[in-house]
């Protein structure tokens, strides 16, 4: 690719849309779908058009209440995907340094490259339980750094970053005038003692999230950004170049989803919890694989010891009808990601097939 040509694709998203499905699909990242019939919605009240030029006020209010923030700080977006894009595009100029965790969710890297950022990486290592080590950020930050990006919970490992570490990262960012983008799309999968959004930790923190992964309503594409009011306006105005206005019926349904948020979350919770228990039992019996075990989250990042992961994953798919996400999409080709929370029957059978493929 010529250095003047921009990066304009996501290999991971393309794979996910075209090749991730299988009879036993463990290549998922969020919980199973919440059916419309179980959402207590009066369809007679649904409407196609309405007042939502810069977002639908009741939805902005619902997001603001959910997080305990001012509605002025809430920017609606089409999922966390568009939230990450808008946030980064509003903050980064070509050539700006952006520090992104490694391993990372592919599309975050793709967007930073598309925006012609000078992308630098800081490692989260398996030996350190995949935790963010602020010393690693300190090591690579410079006065040209404009943004530090992390996911919390971390995709692919589901490791939680505590507020104390996030605060330290905020301090490092502030020392060079940079911002911190925290993608919290999985944070509400911490079912007990759910942390408050890191947006409250300081004005240098920008947060993205959505109802897609933990609440089972991905189809609504209800996403958002939390940012200081000036920056929030920059993002709304930038969005005039993209999707301009949100989908109004989606916003109406999203308001209903917010009214019943705990119903949506609790429906998936027992499935996630049983799947995690099965995964931990399975890992204990399988010397050929290992993973940092977490209490929360819908994904686990598994290391395959002493075997070629591509050969193994192809055999798993072809001979055992089971899919997982290849670690190469997280730049770690001897790992793979397993998703929990869709159907325990499917998950259990998928694990059993992984076991047979390993044998
Ligand atoms: C860390 C992370 N951010 C964003 C997204 C995209 O989320 P959404 O479906 O809300 O666009 C994903 C989806 O897998 C993700 O893992």
pLDDT digits 0-9 by tens, 2-41: 667 899 999 999 999 999 999 999 999 999 999 999 998 9
Residues 6+ apart with CB under 8 A from 226: 67, 69, 73, 74, 75, 197, 199, 206, 207, 208, 209
Instruction: Find the mean pLDDT for residues 160-179.
Output: 98
Instruction: Note the pLDDT tens digit of each residue in 307-355.
Output: 789 899 999 999 999 999 999 999 999 999 999 999 999 999 999 999 9
Q: Which helix (H) or strand (E) holds 102?
A: strand 97-102
Under the banding of pLDDT at 50, 70 and 90, the label for residue 306 is confident
The reported pLDDT for the residue numbered 201 is 98
Distance 356 CA to ligand 1 centre (A): 31
Distance 9 CA to ligand 1 centre (A): 16
**Taking a C-beta distance cutoff of 8 angstroms, is the pair 157, 29 a contact?**
no
Nearest CA to ligand 1 atom 14: 29
Instruction: Note the pLDDT tens digit of each residue in 78-126.
Output: 999 999 999 999 999 999 999 999 999 999 999 999 999 999 999 999 9
Under the banding of pLDDT at 50, 70 and 90, the label for residue 203 is very high
The reported pLDDT for the residue numbered 4 is 73
Cβ–ligand 1 contact at 155 (below 6 Å): yes
Q: Name which of 183, 98, 104, 182 is nearest 147 in CA terms.
A: 98
Q: CB 188: neighbour CB atoms within 10 A? A: 21
Q: Name which of 99, 153, 109, 106 is nearest 131 in CA terms.
A: 153
DSSP-assigned beta bridge partners for residue 300: 338
**Taking a C-beta distance cutoff of 8 angstroms, is the pair 130, 159 a contact?**
yes
Residue 186 three-state SS: coil
Instruction: Note the pLDDT tens digit of each residue in 270-285.
Output: 999 999 999 999 999 9
C-alpha to C-alpha distance for 187 and 191, rounded to whole angstroms: 9
Substitution candidate for ligand 1 out of 106, 155, 184 with most atoms within 8 A of CB: 155
Under the banding of pLDDT at 50, 70 and 90, the label for residue 1 is low
Cβ–ligand 1 contact at 103 (below 6 Å): no
DSSP 119-181: EEEEE--TTTTT---HHHHHHH--TTEEEEEEESSPTTT-PPPPHHHHHHHHHHHHHTT-EEE
Atom of ligand 1 nearest to the CA of 81: 11
Phi/psi of residue 351, each to 5°?
-60, -45
pTM greater than 0.85 (yes/no):
yes
Nearest CA to ligand 1 atom 13: 29
Cβ–ligand 1 contact at 183 (below 6 Å): yes
**DSSP H helices in the chain:** 11-18, 57-67, 79-91, 106-114, 134-140, 163-175, 229-239, 248-259, 261-284, 309-320, 344-358
C-alpha to C-alpha distance for 137 and 146, rounded to whole angstroms: 13
């Amino acid at each position: 690719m010529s250095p003047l040509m921009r990066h304009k694709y996501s290999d991971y998203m393309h794979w996910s849309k075209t090749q991730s499905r299988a009879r036993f699909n463990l290549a998922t990242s969020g919980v199973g779908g919440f059916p419309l019939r179980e959402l207590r919605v009066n369809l007679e009240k649904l409407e196609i058009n309405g007042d939502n030029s810069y977002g639908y006020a009741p939805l902005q209010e619902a997001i603001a209440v959910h997080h305990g923030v001012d509605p002025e700080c809430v920017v609606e977006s089409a999922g966390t995907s568009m939230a990450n894009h808008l946030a980064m595009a509003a903050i980064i100029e070509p050539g700006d340094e952006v520090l992104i965790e490694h391993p990372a969710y592919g599309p975050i890297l793709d967007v930073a490259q598309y925006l012609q950022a000078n992308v630098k990486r800081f490692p989260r290592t398996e030996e350190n339980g995949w935790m963010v080590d602020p010393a690693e950020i300190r090591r690579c930050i410079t006065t040209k750094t404009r943004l530090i990006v992390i996911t919390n919970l971390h995709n692919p490992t589901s490791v939680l970053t505590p507020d104390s570490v996030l605060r330290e990262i905020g301090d490092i960012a502030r020392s060079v005038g940079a911002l911190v983008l925290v993608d919290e799309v999985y944070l509400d999968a911490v079912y007990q003692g759910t942390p408050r959004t890191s947006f409250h930790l300081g004005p240098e923190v920008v947060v993205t999230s959505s109802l897609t992964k933990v609440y089972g309503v991905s189809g609504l594409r209800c996403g958002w950004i939390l940012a200081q009011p000036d920056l929030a306006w920059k993002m709304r105005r930038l969005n005039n170049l993209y999707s301009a206005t949100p989908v109004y019926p989606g916003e109406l349904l999203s308001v209903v989803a917010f009214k019943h948020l705990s119903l949506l979350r609790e429906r998936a919770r027992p499935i996630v919890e049983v799947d995690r228990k099965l995964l931990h039992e399975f890992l204990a019996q399988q010397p050929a694989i290992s993973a940092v075990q977490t209490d929360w989250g819908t994904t686990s990042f598994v290391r395959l010891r002493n075997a070629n992961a591509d050969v193994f994953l192809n055999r798993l798919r072809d001979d055992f009808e089971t899919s997982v996400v290849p670690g190469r999409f997280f730049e770690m080709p001897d790992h793979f990601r397993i998703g929990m929370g869709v159907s325990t029957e499917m998950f259990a059978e998928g694990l059993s097939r992984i076991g047979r493929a390993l044998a």
